[in-house]
Amino acid sequence: MMAFTIAWRELRNLFLSPLAWVLLFAVQLIHGWLFAVYVEGVLAAPPNGVTGVTDLVAGNLFGVASFLMLLVVPLLSMRLFSEERRNGSLTLLLSAPVRVSEIVLGKYLGLMGLLALMVALLTAMPLSLAAGTQLDYGKLAAEGLGLLLLLSAFAAAGLFMSTLTRQPVVAAIASFGLLMFLWVISSLGRGNLHLSSGLHYLSLLDHYFSLLRGTFDSADVIFYLLFSIVFLSLSMWRLDSARLQA
């Protein structure tokens, strides 16, 4: 399938970019420092129960990682289409005998490959504690899945924003603004029960924290899948329009 060929090319281009390596290094450095801080806190005051270490170390680590990736993903997604539009290569790409859906999916999967690597490296940190203590693997799996689903939503929104402009920086700022709005949207409905209930379902943060608590609800998974599908579909529509105008 051509989408996988494009995905591999996009992933390779990401690793050829100094920005991707700088962000990967910075993310791992921050996560590693936080991991050490949380482990030191557990050693100073050992928790009671099997799930204590998972909550205090992995739970806190994944909680902070979500906000950190809110800053990182727009920087990684901003160049997916905007740079090709600026360089004029988008016209050549759209004129190739490749479906728009394959182009969008390919670039999306390429970015998700890098983000999945970041999630795997993050998950390996609390997993390393299994040699010396007991972990709640079910909760850890829910946390890892939750972060991966959250990043898939971030990537889909960032990719769409990248189709709207030829300036990568503008795409990054717009992506961050949109994601931040959807991050805190549930707080806008405080004091109004009906409004709060509706905004709660649209909140990226509320669905993620549900998984972070180890509560696996299919509604949370479906929300992230639908969110990604909607923004990927919008990206396809935007590129189809650009192809017709070319």
What is the arithmetic mean of pLDDT over 168-194? 79
Going by C-alpha positions, the residue among 166, 176, 173, 179 that lies closest to residue 79 is: 166
Answer whether residue 245 shows pLDDT above 90.
no
Per-residue model confidence (pLDDT) at position 54: 80
Nearest-5° Cα angle at 228, 222 to 232: 145
The pLDDT tens digits of the residues spanning 53-105 come to 788 888 889 999 999 999 999 999 998 888 888 877 777 777 778 888 899 99
Q: Is the pLDDT of residue 194 over 60?
A: no
The band of 198, judged by pLDDT with boundaries at 50, 70 and 90, is low
Report pLDDT for 42: 79
Contacts of 152 (CB under 8 A, 6+ apart): 112, 115, 224, 228
**pLDDT beyond 80 at 235:** yes
Domains of the chain, by residue range, sit at: 2-245
- Quote the pLDDT of residue 98: 82
Q: Is the pLDDT of residue 47 over 90?
A: no
Q: Is the pLDDT of residue 214 over 80?
A: no
Q: Which residue has the higher pLDDT, 39 or 52?
A: 39
Q: What is the dihedral of CA 39, 217, 153, 96, to 10 degrees?
A: 130
Percent of the chain with pLDDT over 90: 42
